[in-house]
Amino acid sequence: MVSVRSIYNTPSSLTYHDLPWIITHREDRCTLCGQCTAVCPVGAIYLTYRRQRVPKLDVLKKQRGNEYRHFVGIRQQTDVSKRCIGCGMCSMVCPNEAIGPHPNTNENRSAFVRSQKGDAFKRGGRRNAPGKTILDRISFDRISMLTDPALDAGRHEFNYNTILGRILPPEEYLKRKASGEWIPPTREIFPFIIGSMSFGALSPNMWLGLLQGVAYCNEVLGIPVVMATGEGGCPPWILKSPFLKYIILQIASGYFGWDEIIRAIPEMQCDPAAIEIKYGQGAKPGDGGLLMWFKVSKLIARLRGVPEGVDLPSPPVHQTLYSIEESVMKMIQTMSMAFGFRVPVYPKISGSTSAKAVLNNLVRNPYAGGLLIDGIDGGTGAAYDVSMEATGHPIASNLRECYLDLVAQGRQNEIPLFAAGGIGKNGNVTQNGLAMIMLGASGVHIGKYIMQSAAGCLGNEMGRCNVCNVGICPKGITSQNEKLFRRLDPDDVAQRVVDTFMMIRTETKKIMAPLGRSQSLPIGMSDALGIDDADAAERLKINYIC
């Protein structure tokens, strides 16, 4: 096996040892088809020809001489702007298993590539914190056996849906119904929601595939899955289609896409599933959204009402709102009014120690249809590395604290809490989601897991790929470049979305059945949770098991 490298190094130039990923290339296998170089999204490898001198010494004749060999093969760029991102596309397309990336363990050298021109490092993807999360370590340990009946996951009927929107206490509900007063709108939905990924962050084919999959889940399988748009609106045809009822429209501090939405209201055939007002997100708390210019295509520019090819940062806060009270009065009520008080409206905030204060303001306001908290492990299309890695609060304890606060007030069934940020980070999506639900969430939002399970996203927590921000996504998931996004077949994405939700439904039943629970989602059923960490058990108020 031969590691390839540039032959033009000087004492101060970079070598492949300095880069985060090293390409190994087997000269003996390579047939020079060129597929690897054609598919590489960053141009990290190139086909090259070298004439190499091989010194030769003829001892018997006491003569020195030279032989020449010709190298034709693949080499790795050592230019930082073309560094390998470890996506592995080259190895996927190579017909001869002749090439592939390997992570460089010499981590300190990556300082070379992280602050070019004084700019702090930005990337897409998720927090680089490999290993089990707290949610992965929670187990369901109160199993109905001879004490009360366990159920058969394969044969019993299960009600695993949840409610999005404010739920009035029964006496209040009956009183309002009798007097014809307004009753807050609610939706019965599947508790695993496709989290906010914008049209702009995602490619048109990815968006279409997600929507097709969601529609199939609802209309054919009867799984009421909904998906959130993220900031930036959604394609105008969706706004005027019957599929809008599966969509949670997000409004954020840049208000991108909302001209189109407001203009489309008179022509809407149905109401959206909900309105999400984004005040913060787990991947970059206290920071606004950022769609980098690489991804602002003609279509995206038109939808967002901006010129083509400009960076689109949203402000960190909604400019006219300085407190949660003001936000509830201005934004939540205004958005409710825009849709005739028929659509649940809820805020999305970053995981933070101030989450409880926000919640307590929402509890007092009848227009607030829930609260979504996005924890520190949340992913993003683009963020400063330092925000993604080091800012925010883990979701499990943050949401638990909020839920217990509602319990103390006796109002835990009124305002639904939703959790996001790292659900399914290590692949255990249903286990993580049900753990959050039993800690008090009414449902969970999943983003990156869906990108991986539905479209084969290559990113991971070890710095692989994660170039979602610059529009060169090798799978075509987060690119606006047609050459790249046509690699992704929307029908395949839809098929995988459906497979994913069917799998989650089966696993949900497999968790609910042994608990003896079939008629409602076990929201807040924390007596059935255990963890092998005494401090975490104490903090989350669940069983310590060892």
Q: Given the rule CB under 6 A, which residues bind ligand SF4?
A: 21, 23, 39-40, 42, 44-45, 84-90, 101, 124-125, 451, 457-459, 465-468, 473-475, 477-478
Question: And the tokens for 273?
Answer: 């599933």
DSSP state of 220: I
Cβ 120 to ligand SF4 shortest distance, Å: 19
Cβ 315 to ligand SF4 shortest distance, Å: 25
Q: How far apart are CA 417 and CA 38, in angstroms?
A: 47
Q: Is-contact 274 343, C-beta < 8 A?
A: yes
Residue 441 or 457 having the CB closest to ligand SF4: 457
Q: Given the structure tokens 């929670």, which residue do they identify?
A: 138
Cβ 505 to ligand SF4 shortest distance, Å: 25
Report the residue closest to ligand SF4, judged by CB.
Answer: 459
Cβ 455 to ligand SF4 shortest distance, Å: 8
Question: And the tokens for 153?
Answer: 């996951």
Cβ 303 to ligand SF4 shortest distance, Å: 20
Cβ 1 to ligand SF4 shortest distance, Å: 16
Q: How far apart are CA 456 and CA 477, in angstroms?
A: 9
Cβ 456 to ligand SF4 shortest distance, Å: 8
Cβ 432 to ligand SF4 shortest distance, Å: 20
Q: Is-contact 251 276, C-beta < 8 A?
A: yes
Question: And the tokens for 441?
Answer: 């969430």
Residue 65: in which H helix or E strand, if any? strand 63-76
Q: How far apart are CA 20 and CA 491, in angstroms?
A: 34
C-alpha pair distances (Å), 435 with each of 60, 135, 226, 522: 78, 7, 20, 10
C-alpha pair distances (Å), 408 with each of 213, 278, 360, 364, 401: 40, 27, 12, 15, 11
Q: How far apart are CA 277 and CA 279, in angstroms?
A: 6
Q: Where are the beta strands (DSSP E) in 229-295?
A: 247-251, 274-278, 290-291
Residue 100 or 285 having the CB closest to ligand SF4: 100
Residue 271 or 377 having the CB closest to ligand SF4: 377
Half-sphere exposure of residue 127: CA atoms within 13 angstroms, side-chain side: 26
Cβ 77 to ligand SF4 shortest distance, Å: 9
Question: And the tokens for 265?
Answer: 């209201």
Residue 30 or 87 having the CB closest to ligand SF4: 87
Q: Is-contact 193 446, C-beta < 8 A?
A: yes
Residue 87 or 332 having the CB closest to ligand SF4: 87
